[in-house]
Each structure stands twice: as C-alpha cells, then as structure tokens.
Structure 1
C-alpha cells in the first residue's frame, strides 16, 4: 500500500495519491467548517492510540478466554477504537442470518476498513507481510491470526491460498481485500481472482461488502501516505461517517472458475445494493452497542477442498 520503492510489475497499484485524493479540495466549500478544533483532534488521537495500546496489553490475557468471549471482546474493542478516532459507523445488511465458513471480500479505502469489518465480521485477515513489522499494529495483527502474504514473491501466493482454503475448510472465516491495494473511494480497482480460488477449493460462499466514507478524502490511505498523516487527517474531520453494506452471499458453486467468481463479487460491490429484507436489519453505530451478530451463512457444498490452489499465479 505505502512505500516509495519500486514495486514488482505483477503487483496491483492504484493511481490514487495523497495530494490528489486525500486532500481533494472541493470548489465553493468552506472546509474550515468541516474541521474539528485542534483540542478535539488531539483528544481523539490520544483516545484512539490509547485504545489500540490497551488492546495490545490485554491481548495475551484475552487469548486464554473461551472463543466466544474472545470474539465478543474483539468486537467491542474494534468498535471502541474506531469510535475513539471520531468515526461514526452505519452498518446495513444481514450478518446475523448466516452461519458457517465464509470468504468475506470488500473494497479497500483505508486502514479503518480492518477494524470496521472486524467489529461485525471477525475472521482471519489477509494482509501484506510488511504489516507484521508495523509498530504496535503489526503485533496486534499477528496475535489476531492474520494470514500474511509476501507480495514480492509470486511463488508464495499458492501457499497463501492453500492456507486460506484450510481455514475455510475447517469452518473458519477469512477476510480479504481483493483489489490488492487501497483506492481513494471515488474509484475502485479490479478484484484480483487469486483469493477466490480458496472459496472454490473449500466450497464456501463469498460475502461481498461495500465500504464508503463521508468525507471520502479524509479516510483515504493511498500511495505513500504516512500512517501518522492519515491518523491526523481522520481525527481532524469534524464528523466522519463510515457506511458498511453487507451484501447478499454468493455461492461459489454457481461459477466455473475464480475469475468469474471474482467478477461477480466485484459487480455486487460496485452496485452496493442491499436487499429490502436486509435493510430492515439496519444498525446505526452512533449508538454503537447494537451491531449485527457474528454468524454468517454459507450454502452447504459437496465440492472437495481440491489442490487446485497450487495453480493460482495471481
């Protein structure tokens, strides 16, 4: 995502840059009215970092708790982190109507995407290997069971897909951002098909999720944007709202290959349409105690977890 070194030619990249996308001044608007005061911004930044550090300190003890209790604490903590940074969240759709293993796929705009999804659809995240070495956040990611992928080594990709398939075949949930890089939110990238091979191999369903922010520019974490700059931009907005739309699950049995399945998931995210039945389950997180429940539906499948992930070059 971030870094100025030359990237291998096979890696997905976005044309979005901090100067053109994150700032994005709009003609005719007084942006001073949209900004929080310095005192409020500093208070949010302090509270957000404090919430992250508290999670790091409590993580070893939380690992000793029963799985259900641990998941509940993770959901509470991620909600607290996002709220501490001043972000109000609106979830739309049904997470509670579905159970079983699931590949959750979403568009990627910001580092905020990760705690926002973890608050309602906790699972094994897939992240680039560099995240493991980030201060504090890297430790939390490792403790949370993140599946790290070495994007510089194309030959390592089939192994990552096999690891994802193993989690799904064992009844777990995997969360991935198949664009492979963050985009500004006004534009989105193509869903890369490699991760979808894990859904085909395990026979599980795919759950597309659409993430939008208002204002979009302040949330965008793109190009070589430093994390500290992004944090300050988020806490300096007077009011930021994140909309998380949980869309209808897609059966992997309906598609012959990972390319077709990836295209179907991308169409769903681009359209962002939530069924009327799901709209009735809308939850607003500015009273953020009531989020959709943990379970996620998947259609039963007789498809074996084949070894076809070994033929997954990208």
Structure 2
C-alpha cells in the first residue's frame, strides 16, 4: 500500500479511465501480497453500473482487480490510514451520509462517469455485513444509471479458505472491527480465496425502486457460499420500497 501511494504521487493518473486502471493494477498487487487468490465467474462488464453485496474493504480490492472501475464509498473512508489516500487517488466518489444533498451530488458524478463509459461500482446495502445475508438495497444511486440509460450489472463477492470452508467471518469487516488489527489478522491467513461472480445479463428496470429490488434478487441468486441466509430475500423484500426511497 505504501508503494502504491508513492507510485500514485509519481504517475498522478488524471482521467477517470486512468484512475480506474491504476486502482485495478494496485488492487491486484495488494491482494497477492495478502495471499488472497481470485476465482472469477462470468464476464466483467466493460461499462455500466455494477451492483454488489458488501462485507469488507476487501470487496473493493477484489472487484477493483478485475474491473477498471470507479467506486462509490462513504466519506469516512477518506480518513483511513493508507487506504484513504489510495482510494482518493483512484478516483473514488465519496458519499457523505446523513447530508440532504449528498445523494444528488454523488449521482451527478456517477452519471458523468457512466457517460464516459467507465464502470462504476456501488454497494447499495449502505453498510457491511457478516456475509450471512444481503440487506435491502438503497435505490438512490440507481437513479444516475436509469437517467443515463446505462446498464445495471449485478455481481457478488464471497470468500472461502483453500479447504473450501466459509471464510466470511474472517474477511468481513463490520461492527466494532478496526482497520489495522483486522488487516494484519487477514494478512496472517494466506489461504483465502475470493469468489467474484458477474450476472450473465444486466437487469431491466425503468425506475430506481424496481432496479434496487431486481438487483438484490440477482445478487442473492449469484451467492452460493455456505452460510448465506437465503430466507432473508423473502423477509426483507417487504421493506425494500422504504430502503429504495
């Protein structure tokens, strides 16, 4: 990560495409340094809005290593040691949660990025989980894709150990976790496999509420790791309209 920071200061990627490619290159290096192997299923989309479940900062590395994409992230991440400067250099679109105009401002930047045919990745659960369920998707950031006529591509991220055991509890970063202890524990494993799956086709939706529901259903369908509470799809669907507002 230190090497990535120095390299970013030297090469200073400027365009959105350059920033996405730079982030992708270093995401791959960092994954390898952590001993995390990759398994990719499906074809990564060349453009459009990519929508995924969210367990950890590792999701950004795994998806970023296979997509030259710009990510949307909560603004607090900008202040994280080492990670903050890297993702800022990589062109991350920061969303300041709790501020009335934040989603509208982020949507304008997302729309501009999509118009330049650079993929944008969002995690519409709005938070990380333990990897045992997929929370209802917030629909606010789907608006930019619908207005641009951009495709919306569901994707899933899951983790296992080399022996096939579920690694979600090890990789997940949520609750009271703090960054550096979690990162060092993860780096000490050296036997984690990241599974990234892309949908075979984009979802069809004409408004953000339906897009959020359809994307979540597809993400749940893509997830196949042990421990996923698939019943959460039915139990949470009644709350989806509120989440997408």
> Structure 2 vs 1, CA of residues 192 and 237 (structure 1 numbering), >3 Å: closer, same or farther?
same
Aligned-residue offset at 1:229 = 2.3
Alignment of 1:227-238 (within 5 A): 227-237=179-189
Q: Report the equivalent of 1:262.
A: 212
1:132 aligns with 2:81: no
**Equivalents in 1 of 2:207, 2:139: separation in Å?**
9
Q: Report the equivalent of 1:292.
A: none
1:75 to 21, 24, 30: 24
1:225 to 177, 195, 201: 177
1:249 aligns with 2:229: no
1:240 to 189, 192, 203: 192
1:174 to 104, 120, 144: 120
For normalisation by structure 2, the TM-score amounts to: 0.82
1:155 aligns with 2:107: no
Contact (CA 8 Å) 2:159, 2:171: kept in 1 or not? yes
Aligned-residue offset at 1:271 = 0.5
**Equivalents in 1 of 2:50, 2:143: separation in Å?**
13
**Equivalents in 1 of 2:124, 2:42: separation in Å?**
21
1:53 aligns with 2:5: no
Q: How many residues align?
A: 221
Aligned-residue offset at 1:208 = 1.0
**Equivalents in 2 of 1:196, 1:121: separation in Å?**
19
Contact (CA 8 Å) 1:247, 1:273: kept in 2 or not? no
Q: Report the equivalent of 1:194.
A: 140
1:94 aligns with 2:43: yes
Which secondary structure does the structure 2 equivalent of 1:119 belong to? helix
Aligned-residue offset at 1:67 = 8.1
> Structure 2 vs 1, CA of residues 204 and 67 (structure 1 numbering), >3 Å: closer, same or farther?
closer
Larger Rg: 1
1:63 to 12, 24, 32: 12
* Larger relative contact order, structure 1 or 2 (CA cutoff 8 Å, min sep 6): 1
Alignment RMSD? 2.4
**Equivalents in 1 of 2:16, 2:6: separation in Å?**
18
Alignment of 1:103-122 (within 5 A): 103-122=49-68
**Equivalents in 1 of 2:14, 2:115: separation in Å?**
24
Unaligned runs of 5+ in 1: 1-51, 275-312
**Equivalents in 2 of 1:233, 1:154: separation in Å?**
37
Contact (CA 8 Å) 1:165, 1:198: kept in 2 or not? yes
Q: Report the equivalent of 1:164.
A: 110
> Structure 2 vs 1, CA of residues 236 and 263 (structure 1 numbering), >3 Å: closer, same or farther?
same
Which secondary structure does the structure 1 equivalent of 2:66 belong to? coil
Q: Which moved more, 1:162-171 or 1:199-208?
A: 162-171
Unaligned runs of 5+ in 2: 161-166, 225-243
Contact (CA 8 Å) 2:20, 2:70: kept in 1 or not? no
> Structure 2 vs 1, CA of residues 68 and 265 (structure 1 numbering), >3 Å: closer, same or farther?
closer
Aligned-residue offset at 1:238 = 5.1
> Structure 2 vs 1, CA of residues 104 and 68 (structure 1 numbering), >3 Å: closer, same or farther?
closer
Aligned-residue offset at 1:266 = 0.8
Which secondary structure does the structure 2 equivalent of 1:154 belong to? coil
> Structure 2 vs 1, CA of residues 148 and 72 (structure 1 numbering), >3 Å: closer, same or farther?
closer
> Structure 2 vs 1, CA of residues 261 and 64 (structure 1 numbering), >3 Å: closer, same or farther?
closer
